[in-house]
Amino acid sequence: MKLNFDKFIKPNQTVAVALSGGCDSMALLHYMLFCQKKFPFNVIALNVEHGIRGEKSIFDTEFVKSYCAKNNIPLVCYSVDSLKHAKEKKLSVEQSARELRYKCFYDAIESGKCDLVATAHHQSDNVETILFNLFRGTGLNGVCGIPEILNGKIIRPLLNVSKEKIERYIKENSIPFVTDETNLSNDYTRNSIRHKIVPEIVKLFPEAENCISRFSEIAKVENDYLENVTKTVLNATESTVEIKLPCEKAILSRAVISALKTLGVEKDWEKTYADSTKVLAEGKNGASVDLKGGIRVIKEYDKLVFYKENELENKELPFDIGSFSLAKKEISIAKVNKPENLFDGFYADLNKIPKTAVIRTKRNGDVFTKFGGGTKKLSDYLTDKKIPLRTRSQIPVLADGNDVLAIFGVAISEKIRVDENTETIIEIK
């Protein structure tokens, strides 16, 4: 095997090899220890006992401990309960083990035990992942396979090395290893692909694994390009994600998935979500659809806005001078001297405000008398002002019954405007 570590490892970094004791990880550890003499990096081992195979799993960990002790290799060990975690999180045992394993990897990095973790994923693992994703109905991203570098912290130096080369390296160097019998079973989906499907494909196309790997490399390049284009139509704030319209359907699908990820939906993006959003993009302003995880997407003029529905705050406050919190907004009403320009802010005549007025949020039936005259439904007035539908229910208003006298941050009603007879001016903001 010949590997170039320059693209993975910086000088003097410490790399922990994820060591299960199996053929692949033992080969990687042996090779990296050999390369350590030429390259300026440090190598340690990291073992995770998953709590799946009982005594056999413990035996594998003891094998790793013994090998590392005999060869003076620093070792970091973790023990997790994958079966319990799978039950609690409603995951498959495979998913649970992977989730906990990577949690251990990042713990080792964050706690300063190492700078990087190297896993022994190889070409056949990559091919199996591509086929697995393809059979589940993936998009282009899924056929990119396993990334060589994950989050700048997890590296896969063997990703372009065939299983045959690894096995030959093990034999030539007389490297001991243990066999995880679950890797030989067809009970797990990936194992079925490995033992049943791939061998049949290779019978028909001997170079299939190399060809699939080349296809994956092409997919990565094109996927990276499309991802960069997708970023140009996205705008994320603290609580919303916007997609600028119009955009190509291929970009829109990616943007939808990105928006869902940003708002906390980590997996199970359904094609129906992308399809319904595409229809929405071509629909009328104000149209909306509810997606997974309490997320709503609404069309607002030239964009689609994704946001999480919040419970409305029906609190009602009596009108008074001071500062208040309503609908997660800080508002204030203060007496001021007459400003030089009444149009620089929102000013009102205190004596024109009825004692029965309250501060609340928008309600059905509300009306508003525009500055200069003319009464409209509040909803129509907010539409004229291009106030997004999703935010209207959270805008504080000053109202007497259904008569809205002020819309905080938006407008003051003609009914409480400042005039030549005004004695006390208040600023509403």
Residues 172-215: tens digit of each pLDDT: 999 999 986 655 445 567 788 888 999 999 999 999 999 999 99
Taking the chain, what is the end-to-end CA distance rounded to the nearest angstrom?
69
Tell me the pTM: 0.69
Report d(CA 100, CA 94) in Å as an integer: 10
Which residue matches tokens 């993009």?
281
Report d(CA 415, CA 403) in Å as an integer: 10
Report d(CA 130, CA 217) in Å as an integer: 11
CA distances from 154 to 16, 317, 390 (A): 10, 54, 40
Report d(CA 291, CA 273) in Å as an integer: 7
Report d(CA 324, CA 313) in Å as an integer: 14
Pairing of strands 14-18, 116-118: parallel
Mean pLDDT per 10-residue segment, the chain (429 residues): 82 95 96 88 95 86 96 95 90 89 96 97 94 88 92 94 94 91 59 89 94 95 95 88 90 88 72 73 84 82 83 74 85 90 89 94 92 89 86 88 94 92 92
User: Sign (positive/negative) of CA torsion 384, 386, 387, 388?
Assistant: positive
Which residue matches tokens 């997609």?
243
Closest CA to 296 of 307, 282, 312, 310: 307
Residues 280-316: tens digit of each pLDDT: 888 888 888 887 777 888 888 899 999 886 644 567 8
Report d(CA 289, CA 277) in Å as an integer: 8
Structure tokens at 255: 């943007």
pLDDT at 144: 94
Burial of 105 (0-12, 13-18, 19+ CB in 10 A): buried
